[in-house]
Structure 1
Amino acid sequence: MTRRQLLRMIGMTAGSATMYQAMSGLGFAAQSPYKAPIKLGQAPKGSSVLVLGAGIAGLVAAYELREAGYKVQVLEYNARAGGRNWTLRGGDTYTELGGATQHCGFDKGLYINPGPWRLPYHHHGILHYCKQLGVPLEAFVQVNYNAYLHSTKGFDGKPQRFRAVKADYQGHVAELLAKTTQANQLDALVSKEDQEKLLHSLRSWGALDKNYAYAKGELSSNRRGYEKDPGGGLSGHPIASEPFALKDVLDSRLWQGLPVGDNYEMQTTLFQPVGGMGVIGQAFARELGPLIRYNAKVTAIQQDERGVTAMYEDTTAPGVKHTASADWCVCTLPLSILGQIPMNVGQAMAEAIAAVPYAAAVKVGLQFKRRFWEEDDQIYGGITYTDQAITNISYPSTGYFSGGKGVLLGAYIWGLDAMEFTAMSPAERIQRALEQGSKIHPQYPKEFDNGMAVAWHRSPFTLGCFAQWSEQARADHYDNLCQFDGRIVLAGEHASCLPAWQEGAVTSALDAIGRLHRRAAAGATA
C-alpha cells in the first residue's frame, strides 16, 4: 500500500481532520506557516473593506485592516463574535435548525466548547492573537495515562486504563523483537554491536526482565500500575499486577487509541483559553467594537468595477432590507452557507464553492452533580476513547479538586454516527450519550444533572462542522477558491490547508488581506 492510498483510506473512514494528522505524521504536512505579525503598510486614503462573517478569519481580517487604516465594517449573523469559536455557559440559549431550543443550565464557571477546544503549541498565529488581545491560556491535557481505553468487544466490555494497554502492547512487542534479535535473525540488517544496543533499548522501552520477557513483576507494574500500590510501614509492600496476554490486547483493538498523542497536532503542549474557547472571539469583539454589525443575515452579494455591496436583513426585525458597501470584500462565510447566497462571481469560484461538502459532527456537554472522575477514578484532564458512537469522553483540564458540579465533554461524534445523532432531538442525543458513557463510568445515571447537545449540520450559521476537502477537489478547485474574483476574496479554514483548525482561518485571512492590500495600493498609484 502506498502512503497516498493509505491517506485516501484514512480520509474516507475518519475524515479530513484525521487525514491531516496522518499527513503530518508521514511528513506530508507542516506546521503553521505563520512566522511574524503581518505589516500591511498604510491603506490608500479613503479605502474601505466589507468583511462578511465575524468568525476567527473575519475578526483577524477586520483587526489587521483597521490597524492599516482601512475603513472596515463587519456583518455577522449571530448576536456574538467568534463563529465556531464558541463557548456555551449557564444562561445561554441556542436554537438549531428545526426549531429545537436548548437553555444551558450549567453552573457558574462551567462550560462546553461546541467547536474548537484546544490550541496546539505550533499554531503560532492564533497564539499570537491570544497574546495580543490579552487572552490568558492554560494547559489542555490531551493524553492522560489514567484515563480509559474502551472496547465493547474486548475485555468483556470493561474499560482499561490507558497506561495498562500501552505498557502491555509495548512490552509484548518489545519481547517479540528481543527474541528475534537474540535468534540472530537480524544479522543481515543490524551489526552485532548494534544488536546489543537494540536489546538493551528494548529492555528499557518494553520493561522486559533480565530474560527479555514481558512478565508480571516490578518492571511491568511500574508502567501498567500495581494490583496494590507501594505504601509505608508493614502494609506497604506492593503487589504486582498481571499483564494482559498479547492476544487479548490485539483482539481488543484498544491499541488504536495509543498513538493519538503522538500525532503532530496533538503533541504537548496544547493550550486552552481560561474560561472557554469563546473568550478569544469576545476579546476580538471588545477590540473591534462598533465595527461589527450583529444579527445581520447576508442575503445577496453584488460587485462591479467600483466596489462590493452586500444585502442583509436584521434577524431581530426580519423583512427589512439593508445594504453595506465597500471598495473590497473579504468573505469568510462557510461555503455551506455561501453556496446558497446569490453572488456574481466567475464560474471557477462558483464551482469551487459548490465542490466542498462540510463534515458532520456532534458534541454533547454533560453536567454532573460532582466530579466523580476525579473523586472516584483519579482522572484529571485527558481523554477516554471508546469504540461506541460517542467516540470519546474529555475531562476538564481546569478546576481540579474544586468540588461541586463539573462538566464533561460526553461525546464528540463523527461520520455516519454523527448523521444518526443529528437526526435525533437534543434530549435524545444527551440520553444516548449517557447510556454509552455509563458503560465506562457507571456513576453517570446517579450523578447526571443536565446537558447540551450541538449537531453542527443543524447549526444555522455553518450547516456543518468544517470544510471536508477530498484530494481531487483540492487539486481541481482550491486555488480557484482562494484567488481574487474581481473585488472579492474568500478566507476561512475552508480556504486553507489546515482544515478544521482555527490556525487555518488565521493564516487564510492574513494571506487574503496581504493580497488585498497589494491590489488596493497598486490601484491607488495606477
Structure 2
Amino acid sequence: MDTKTILHLCKLANSQESKHITILGAGIAGLIAAYELERLGHTVEIIEGSSRIGGRILTHHFGDDSKAPYAELGAMRIPSEHKHVLHYIHEMGLDKKLRKFVTVFEEQNALMNIQGNIFRIKDGPRICQQYYQGIFLDTSYSEKTRLFGAWLKTIVNTISPGNLRESLDRDLNSHLMDELERLDLEPYFNEDGESIDFHGFIKANPGFRARCSKALDMFFSDILVETSHDLLQLEGGMDQLINSLAAAIKAPIKCNRKVVALHVQKDGVKVSWLKGKQLHTRHCDYVLCTIPFSILRKMDLRGFDEDKLTSIHNTTYCPATKVAFHCAQPFWEKHGIKGGASFSGERIRQTYYPSVNTNPSLGSALLASYTIGDDADHLGVMPEQERYAYVKKVVSQLHPEIKAPDMVIDMTSIAWGSYEWSDGGCSIPWGDDVSSESNHYIHYLEAARPQNTLLFAGEHCSRFPAWIQGSIESALEVVYEIVTHKPLRATGGAYLNTSTFGQGNAGNINITARDMVSLEKRRPNN
C-alpha cells in the first residue's frame, strides 16, 4: 500500500479524541510516527537514550562548509522502489537533492583484491577464476559453469558476512555447481563472453535460489538490491531527512534519557528511565517503542507474554563497522573511478568512493571500509587508532597514494555491533547458525505485535529489515493502529481497554474497499 493511501486511511479512521503517545527512540521510525500523529491532532513526547537523534542514520561531515566532504556512517542508499522513503524526502522538500548512488560492481574501473592479485572489476569474471582452487579447477564442469560459479563466489565474498560465504562454499561443493552445469548459462554472458548478468540469472532461475541454504537464499534478495543500478542518495547527507523531520515536529525531543524498564499494565504502560543517575518513572496511556530488540532485551520487562519475550530475545542482529577517511584529494579519479566500490579484500571488504560533488578545495571523503558480520566484529574490537592503521594498510594495496604524507587529513569510524544504543547494525531474519535448517527464523509480524498499549516499530518489525523503508512502513502501521484504537476510558476508578491492538494481522494494515466506503460514510467531513 502506498504512503498516501495509508495516511488517507489514518485520517478517515482518526478518532475525535486526542491521545497522548510516548515515543521511545528518535530514529527515523520514531520521528515519522511523531510527525504523522501530530498532524492528526495527537500529542507526543519523544524520549531518546543517546545524545543525538537519527538512530542508525548518521552522517559525518568533515567540516562546517555546506560543500564539505561527508561520509555516511549509517544508512547511505535508497532503492528507487522504496516509495515510503521517497515520499518523506519529497514531503521535506529534499527531492531536488536526490542523486544516483553508484554501487558495488557498477563502476567497472573499480578494483578487486583476490588473494593479493589486483585487477579491475571489468576483468573480474575472467580473472578471479584463476585464483580460486578446488571445485573451480574441476574440468568435468564446463568453462562457463566454472566461470559463473567463480563470479558468484566473488559477489558473495564481497557483500556477505563470513558465515554466508562459508555456506555458499558448502553449497557449491555439494550441489550448486551441478545445478549450474544443468542450467543454460549462455543468455547471462554478455557479448564479450566474460561479463555476467547476475541479476538476470537470479530473476529467471528461482529454483537455483531454492537449492541454496535458507539464509543464503534470503540474503540473495539483499545482494540484488545492493548491486542494483537504481539506487539513490541524498546529496549533502542522509541526516538532512532526520533534521527536517525533527524541525517539523512540535514536541521537544528529550535526549540523554536511557530507558531501563517497561511494565505493561491493563491501563497503559509504566516507563522508567535514567536522566544522569536519577531514575524517573511515568505511567503512559500509549507507548511506541522503536528501540532495537538487541537493547530492549537488556531492560526490565514485565507484563509481556512469552511469545513476545521469545521474539525480543531471539531476534538476531548483524554487526556492521564503517571507517571513513577525509582525503586531501580524490586520487582514485586518476584511475577513472567516479564512484562505486572496490573489493579491498582481507578484513575490510568494500571501499566506497563518493559519487556526488563537494568542494574540491576541501578534499574528498572515502568510505575506506564497510564490513558486516565477523569482519565487522574483527574491526570493531580494535582500538580506534589501530583500526585506522589497519584499514589504511589494506587500502594502500589498491591505492598506494593513500600512504603519501598529509593525504589523509582526518578519520572517523563507528562499530555498530558495540554501539551502546543499537548493539548491532541491523536485524536479520535468520539466526547465527546458517547451516541449520531447523534454526529459528523470527517473523516480523511477531516482532511488531503489540502488548496491550505498548506498540513496536523499526526495521526489525518490518518486511524490509536493514532498510529505512522498513522503519517507515512499520511506523505508519503503528500510527494507523493508534488512531483506530478506542481510547482507554475510566470506569468506577478503574480503566477499561475497550479493544486490543493487532488482532488478526499483528499491525499490518489490511483494509478492504468496503471498509474504506464505511469509513467515508462515518466521517463525511474529513
TM-score (norm 2): 0.70
Corresponding residue SS for 2:29: helix
> Are residue 515 (structure 1) and residue 481 (structure 2) matched?
yes
Distance in structure 1 (CA, Å) of the matches to 2:62 and 2:145 = 50
Partner of 1:461: 421
| Bigger mean CA offset, 327-336 vs 350-359 | 350-359
Distance 1:302 1:159, change over 3 A: same
Distance in structure 2 (CA, Å) of the matches to 1:129 and 1:396 = 24
Partner of 2:410: 450
Partner of 2:27: 55
Gaps of 5+ in 2: 130-142, 149-181, 196-219, 432-437, 490-496, 500-526
Partner of 1:207: 192
Partner of 2:463: 497
Aligned-residue offset at 1:398: 1.2
Partner of 1:387: 345
Letter in 2 for 1:290: A
Contact 1:351/1:477 (8 A) holds in 2: no
Contact 1:355/1:477 (8 A) holds in 2: no
Cα deviation code 1:480-520 (max 9, x no counterpart): 32212111111111111211111111111122222232223
| Matching of residues 18-167 of structure 1 within 5 Å | 36-39=5-8, 40-41=10-11, 42-90=14-62, 109-135=68-94, 136-142=97-103, 143-152=106-115, 157-166=116-125
Aligned-residue offset at 1:276: 1.1
Distance 1:176 1:489, change over 3 A: closer
Partner of 1:328: 286
Distance 1:261 1:332, change over 3 A: closer
TM-score (norm 1): 0.70
Aligned-residue offset at 1:79: 2.9
Partner of 2:434: none
Letter in 2 for 1:138: R
Cα deviation code 1:400-448 (max 9, x no counterpart): 7835411100001222222221211111111110010001101111122
Letter in 2 for 1:145: Q
> Are residue 310 (structure 1) and residue 268 (structure 2) matched?
no
Contact 1:151/1:388 (8 A) holds in 2: no
Distance 1:482 1:51, change over 3 A: same
Aligned-residue offset at 1:313: 2.6
Corresponding residue SS for 1:38: helix
Corresponding residue SS for 1:85: coil
1:347 to 306, 318, 322: 306
Corresponding residue SS for 1:439: helix
Distance in structure 1 (CA, Å) of the matches to 2:378 and 2:419 = 16
Letter in 2 for 1:486: N
Percent sequence identity over aligned pairs = 28
Distance 1:71 1:158, change over 3 A: same
1:413 to 371, 389, 392: 371
Distance in structure 2 (CA, Å) of the matches to 1:479 and 1:361 = 25
Distance in structure 1 (CA, Å) of the matches to 2:466 and 2:380 = 19
Contact 2:67/2:358 (8 A) holds in 1: no
Corresponding residue SS for 1:443: helix
Aligned-residue offset at 1:522: 9.6
Corresponding residue SS for 1:358: strand
Contact 2:272/2:279 (8 A) holds in 1: yes
Aligned-residue offset at 1:476: 5.8
Aligned-residue offset at 1:123: 0.8
Distance in structure 1 (CA, Å) of the matches to 2:317 and 2:147 = 44
Distance 1:50 1:262, change over 3 A: closer
Distance in structure 1 (CA, Å) of the matches to 2:318 and 2:296 = 16
Partner of 2:179: none
Contact 2:447/2:460 (8 A) holds in 1: no
Aligned-residue offset at 1:473: 6.7
Give the paired residue count: 406
Contact 1:50/1:325 (8 A) holds in 2: no
Contact 1:90/1:107 (8 A) holds in 2: no
Root-mean-square deviation (Å): 3.4
